[in-house]
Amino acid sequence: MRKATGLIVDEMRRAPGRGCPTTDLETASGCGAAAERFSATLVLKLGYDGTRYSGFAEQPDRCTVAGEVRQAMETFLRRPIELICAGRTDAGVHAIGQHVSVAVLPAECEIPRARWLRAMDALLPPDISVAGVFRARRGFSARFDARDRTYTYRIAAGSVRPALIRPYVWWHRLELDEGAMRDAATCLVGEHDFKSFCRASSAAGRPTSRRVLDVDFAHESELGENVLAFTIRGNAFLHSMVRTIVGSLAEVGTHRRDPAWLADALAARDRAAAGPTAPACGLCFMDVSYDSGELEGWL
């Protein structure tokens, strides 16, 4: 983690260690204060390059996005926090529209947006960026109050290896039949049991029904290189669900399977019925939507 310097250090007046704080700004649950002291919720919109991270969620002895964000926030606020995210991305998956929420105290509500941005820029590593600062009501949850989430998976198809965008796409050496993939993907829209498209171990004993609102394919140019972008929006997603869908669509795109096969795989409710899991590097968490008026710009 980068060390804060100059004005940021002066602003934080950082104390050694992570013991119980001594000021109202530092008071929080976990150090004797009741949760009722929180008056609002801070929501940060994050972007990150997931290449070197073992996913978003904190794990013992692993470098994670949540671990870095928590450390930065606790250093700045000088107190423990509870960090809630809109969606836990897997190892190697990127984000441009991740949202995290943290309950804040009255004094912390007075911290201006510019100071939040300066502090996070100083304290977060260069591959994690704060793109937005919002205020929400007390009790707001970035996870449970989310209405839908959007992911985009990018594929560079063909024999020419991408030069500049390779860390953020799946280089698929064979050409893909986009029309066949579009036909196959129509079966995904609606409320279905997506057990076939998630990691088998994560599905055991848990509900696997999800609602996909829409899917789309588009051609994009990134730094002068062409990619096929598959975008999917739904209320929630299972572990590796989007990547397994993309891996299965690629089977259709290379004509190893016909478009109707994807619907059969979905109906089977069996991971063995679907295709391979596409690499993590091509997936990006693009956006989260909330009810109108839930998020206000932080002044």
Locate 59 and state its tokens: 């794990």
Contact by Cβ (8 Å): 102, 93? no
pLDDT band at 214 (very low <50, low <70, confident <90, very high): very high
Backbone angles phi, psi at 222, to 5 degrees: -115, 115
Q: What residue numbers does the annotated binding site for substrate cover?
A: 151
Mean pLDDT of the chain: 90
What local confidence, expressed as pLDDT, does residue 5 receive? 39
CA 166 → CA 56, 93, 153, 276, 290, distances in Å? Answer: 21, 13, 13, 20, 32
Question: CA 81 to CA 210: how far, in whole Å?
Answer: 30
Contact by Cβ (8 Å): 247, 199? no
What local confidence, expressed as pLDDT, does residue 36 receive? 66
What local confidence, expressed as pLDDT, does residue 202 receive? 74
pLDDT band at 12 (very low <50, low <70, confident <90, very high): very low
Whether pLDDT at 3 is above 50: no
90 is catalytic: yes
Q: Which residues in the chain are classed under CATH 3.30.70.580?
A: 7-145
Place of tokens 């991270």: 53
* DSSP notation for the chain: -PPP-THHHHHHTPPSSS---SSGGG--TTTT--GGG--EEEEEEEEE-GGGSS-SS--TTS--HHHHHHHHHHHHHTS----EES--PPTT-EEEEEEEEEEE-TTGGGS-HHHHHHHHHHHS-TTEEEEEEEEE-TT--TTTT--EEEEEEEEEESSSPPSSSGGGSEEESS---HHHHHHHHGGGSEEEE-GGGS-HHHHTTS--EEEEEEEEEEEEEETTEEEEEEEEEES---TTHHHHHHHHHHHHHTTSS-THHHHHHHHHT-GGGS-PPPPGGGEEEEEEE--TTS-EE--
Whether pLDDT at 237 is above 90: yes
Closest CA to 66 of 85, 81, 79: 85
Whether pLDDT at 203 is above 90: no
Express each pLDDT in 134-175 by its tens digit: 999 999 999 999 999 999 999 999 999 999 999 999 999 999
Class for domain 148-287, per CATH? alpha beta
Q: What residue numbers does the annotated binding site cover?
A: 151
Arithmetic mean of pLDDT, 241-263? 98
**Residues ≥6 apart with Cβ < 8 Å to 82:** 29, 102, 103
Look up the CATH architecture of domain 7-145: 2-Layer Sandwich (3.30)
Exposure of 288 in the CB half-sphere (CA atoms within 13 A): 29
What pTM was computed for the model?
Answer: 0.88
Amino acid at 55: G
Arithmetic mean of pLDDT, 63-79? 97
Arithmetic mean of pLDDT, 123-138? 97
User: Which residues sit opposite 137 in a β-bridge?
Assistant: none
pLDDT band at 299 (very low <50, low <70, confident <90, very high): confident
Arithmetic mean of pLDDT, 203-231? 93
Closest CA to 89 of 111, 69, 115: 69
Express each pLDDT in 15-27 by its tens digit: 333 333 333 444 4
Q: Which residues in the chain are classed under CATH 3.30.70.660?
A: 148-287
What local confidence, expressed as pLDDT, does residue 206 receive? 85
Contact by Cβ (8 Å): 212, 192? yes
Express each pLDDT in 79-105 by its tens digit: 999 999 999 999 999 999 999 999 999
Determine which of 6-15, 181-190, 220-229 has the lowest per-residue pLDDT on average. 6-15
Locate 57 and state its tokens: 């969620």
Question: CA 126 to CA 143: how far, in whole Å?
Answer: 25
Kindly name the residue from 49, 61, 90, 291 that is annotated as catalytic.
90
What local confidence, expressed as pLDDT, does residue 27 receive? 40
Contact by Cβ (8 Å): 47, 37? no
What local confidence, expressed as pLDDT, does residue 65 receive? 98
Backbone angles phi, psi at 128, to 5 degrees: -125, 130
Arithmetic mean of pLDDT, 126-136? 97
